Amino acid sequence: MEDNQLLRYSRQIMLPQIDIAGQQKLLDSRVLIIGLGGLGSPAALYLCAAGVGQLALNDFDNVDLSNLQRQVLHNSAAIGLPKVESAQKQLHELNPETQIIALNRRFEPDELLEQVELADIVLDCSDNFTTRFAVNAACVQTSTALVSGAVIRFEGQLAVFTPGLNDSPCYNCLYSKNGEQEESCARNGIVAPLPGIVGSMQALEAIKWLLNIGRSPVGKLQIFDALNSEWHRLTLRRDPACPSCGP
């Protein structure tokens, strides 16, 4: 590790749980982030700042004025640009040492599987069930850890899934494809700082997983009530009849 890296990451390196060896692990890691909106923005910013070596960013949407209330990775000058292009520019200015792979397209199943397999961990920061189920299926097939986040109105959710380890459930164990009706920020609204809280937690859980430190909330659904500043935790169990991770 070079002198400028030792200085840049010094506040992390001084943590005994990380040290130089842990920082080197981050520099050698690749994280795939699906979605560069409210959740993907803080997640990408903190993983880049923390020194993750490669960030693969997937989104096929353009920056819109209505995004800027909560999608802090983008700014007014980026309106109309692809989100991956806006993100790549901002993240490079934050930390030019992190390699940013911009993937400005809707993945076909084979490409999604390929990108998930290349990653050490995946962050699902998308905003629709179709993408979430597809990402989950690819993570199950490749035994890749998945950090899932969701936000709406004043409520956030966070879960970590580790397919093939510790009898972990998967996203499909939690939500059925024929389950609840999907809600969106465009129809239901969202308070600005909430995605920042959950997206930052996704980044934190990814770093913990990459470094194998602390306790990951595998098999737990963490729900944040922003109006009352309360976290609730529910225990999830693997569904033996799950169409994704079942036999």
- Count structural domains, the chain: 1
How does pLDDT run across 155-164, given as a tens digit for each residue? 999 999 999 8
Domain that holds residue 207: 3-235
Catalytic residue among 170, 185, 242, 245: 185
In a domain, 241, yes or no: no
Respond yes or no: is residue 185 known to be catalytic. Answer: yes
How does pLDDT run across 173-201, given as a tens digit for each residue? 988 776 555 666 677 889 999 999 999 99
In a domain, 243, yes or no: no
In a domain, 246, yes or no: no
Spatial separation of the C-alpha atoms in residues 18 and 114, rounded to whole Å: 30
pLDDT at residue 182, rounded to an integer: 63
In a domain, 207, yes or no: yes
Predicted confidence pLDDT, tens digits, the chain (247 residues):
899 999 999 999 999 999 999 999 999 999 999 999 999 999 999 999 999 999 999 999 999 999 999 999 999 999 999 999 999 999 999 999 999 999 999 999 999 999 999 999 999 999 999 999 999 999 999 999 999 999 999 999 999 999 988 889 999 998 877 655 566 667 788 999 999 999 999 999 999 999 999 999 898 999 999 999 999 999 999 999 999 998 7
142 near 116, Cβ under 8 Å? yes
In a domain, 174, yes or no: yes
pLDDT at residue 176, rounded to an integer: 78
Here the CATH number for the domain that contains residue 153 is 3.40.50.720
In a domain, 74, yes or no: yes
User: C-alpha 198: how far from its chain's center?
Assistant: 9
In a domain, 156, yes or no: yes
Mode of pairing for the β-strands spanning 121-124 and 145-152: parallel
In a domain, 244, yes or no: no
Residue 138: both structure tokens together? 């690819």
